[in-house]
Amino acid sequence: MERKKITTIKEIAKVLNVSTSTVSRALNGHPGISPVTTDRVCKVAREQDYIPNRAAISFSKRRSYTLGLIVPEFSEPFFCSAFTAIENIASTHNYNIMIGQSYDDMETEIKIVKKFMNHRIDGLIISIAKKGSDYQQLSALEKLNIPVVFFDCVSDRTDIHFVASNLQAGLLKGIHELVAAGHHKIALINGPAALSASRQRLVAYVKGLKEHGIELKSDFIVATDLSREGNLSALNKLIELNDPPTAVVVFNDYVFLDCFGVLNSKGLKDLFQFISFGNLPDWGLFEHRPFGSIEQFPAEQGSIAANILIQLMNEMSVEEQAPVRCFQKYVDSDIIFFRDSAKVD
């Protein structure tokens, strides 16, 4: 059983007694081809079920029209919406996306990059979530002048393009509301210190408190390994403080769910006001919600990253030297409030 051959421009050319270049140009709406010829070519193409062979086109043009996307995991709704947004932008510009899930493992990431290089991707959007990654796995791409845009991660390097969320923006609003309701003892249940996401949250928390003139208390900052046990043990540390907080900022919605679930089952559902960094798609489905959930607009971040990458890729296909500059864009987070904050006595 063999695959059926698909009509090629050569065959169309033969039928019409013209050259393949003419067919190619006609099919691509090139100017400098007479309307009549163009019509005839297109007609035959249609009749013969001609389907352009992108593999051949890519090969010939030495561009794959494919961009790589590496994220930790698609089961996270955050990356799912980012993907969809990127996909939309990409397809408008006739780019395809090749996907890789790293599961936060650098080995896997390296494998994916290698695979992408085999495919000669024209550019890469990547969300690295590892501590102190030196991005070595990407140096190969750098060497080949293949543009890379980082996404959902912040680095101190000034020579890389990235788009990330400004976590502080949303948190600030949340703290503002809490303060307005009389809260000034606000704790943080952060993620593992190794995660850059944790460091970002810590920075945002510290800045947020500072801007509201709230003093930082070190025992208000606890960490969880994001397991259920870790979440609850972090929660307990706060509960057991002599002077416990009245509000808690948690690493993400899952942490909130664990904490709130336990408190609720003990009849303590109003013990703390919670603010979480949002990653669940639809709180409407949940019985219990935090006071506020910080929205990081993954779709918007994805769109921006995709647009940057496309611009960079276009520059790659041009003779002149591209201007030296770096796209580094922060998308302000926001916060969505789901409940009234109980006044503090």
Partner DNA sequence: TTGAAAGCGCTAACAG
Partner DNA sequence: CTGTTAGCGCTTTCAA
Beta carbon nearer to DNA, 22 or 165: 22
Which are the contacts of 272, defined by CB distance < 8 A and separation ≥ 6?
238, 245, 246, 247, 248, 259, 263
User: Quick check: 66 binds DNA (CB under 7 A)?
Assistant: no
User: Quick check: 21 binds DNA (CB under 7 A)?
Assistant: yes
User: Quick check: 57 binds DNA (CB under 7 A)?
Assistant: yes
Lookup: tokens for 16: 């019409």
| Residue 182: contacted member of its own copies, DNA, none (CB under 5 to 8 Å, by partner type) | none
| Residue 19: contacted member of DNA, its own copies, none (CB under 5 to 8 Å, by partner type) | DNA
CB of 121 to DNA, least distance (A): 15
Which residues lie near its own copies (CB under 8 A)?
1-4, 6, 49, 51-56, 58-59, 62, 64, 74-75, 77, 80-81, 83-84, 87, 96-99, 101, 115, 117-120, 140, 143-146, 228, 254, 257-258, 261, 264, 281, 284-288, 315-316, 318-322
Beta carbon nearer to its own copies, 177 or 258: 258
Amino acid at 234: A
CB of 54 to DNA, least distance (A): 8
Q: Count CA within 13 A, CB hemisphere, residue 224.
A: 25
How far is the C-alpha of 178 from the C-alpha of 157, rounded, in Å?
A: 35
User: Contact at 8 Å (CB) between 329 and 165?
Assistant: no
Q: Taken in order 211, 212, 214, 219, is the CA torsion positive or negative?
A: negative
User: Quick check: 94 binds DNA (CB under 7 A)?
Assistant: no
Strand-pairing partners, residue 187, are: 248
CB of 321 to its own copies, least distance (A): 5
| Residue 101: contacted member of its own copies, DNA, none (CB under 5 to 8 Å, by partner type) | its own copies
CA angle (80, 84, 89) in 5-degree steps: 145
User: Quick check: 17 binds DNA (CB under 7 A)?
Assistant: yes
**SS3 category, 241:** coil
Beta carbon nearer to DNA, 13 or 187: 13
Q: Pick from 277, 245, 306: which is nearest to 88 by CA?
A: 306
Q: Pick from 243, 139, 237, 242: which is nearest to 189 by CA?
A: 237
Taking residues 213 to 252 in sequence order and writing x for each that binds DNA by CB under 7 A, - otherwise, the string is ----------------------------------------
Paired sense of beta strands 96-101 and 123-126, if any:
unpaired
From the list 30-38, 73-81, 85-93, 209-217, the region that binds DNA by CB under 7 A is 30-38
How far is the C-alpha of 127 from the C-alpha of 79, rounded, in Å?
A: 9
Continuous segment of H or E residues that includes residue 338: none
| Residue 192: contacted member of DNA, its own copies, none (CB under 5 to 8 Å, by partner type) | none
From the list 2-10, 165-173, 274-282, 304-312, the region that binds DNA by CB under 7 A is 2-10
Q: How many residues are present in the chain?
A: 345
Helix, strand, coil: what percent of the chain each, to 5? Answer: 45, 15, 40
User: Quick check: 24 binds DNA (CB under 7 A)?
Assistant: yes
Amino acid at 73: E
How far is the C-alpha of 167 from the C-alpha of 164, rounded, in Å?
A: 9
User: Quick check: 34 binds DNA (CB under 7 A)?
Assistant: yes
**SS3 category, 72:** coil
User: Quick check: 28 binds DNA (CB under 7 A)?
Assistant: yes
Query: Which residues are at the interface with DNA (CB under 7 A)?
Result: 5-6, 8-10, 17-22, 24-25, 27-28, 31-37, 50, 52-53, 56-57, 59-62
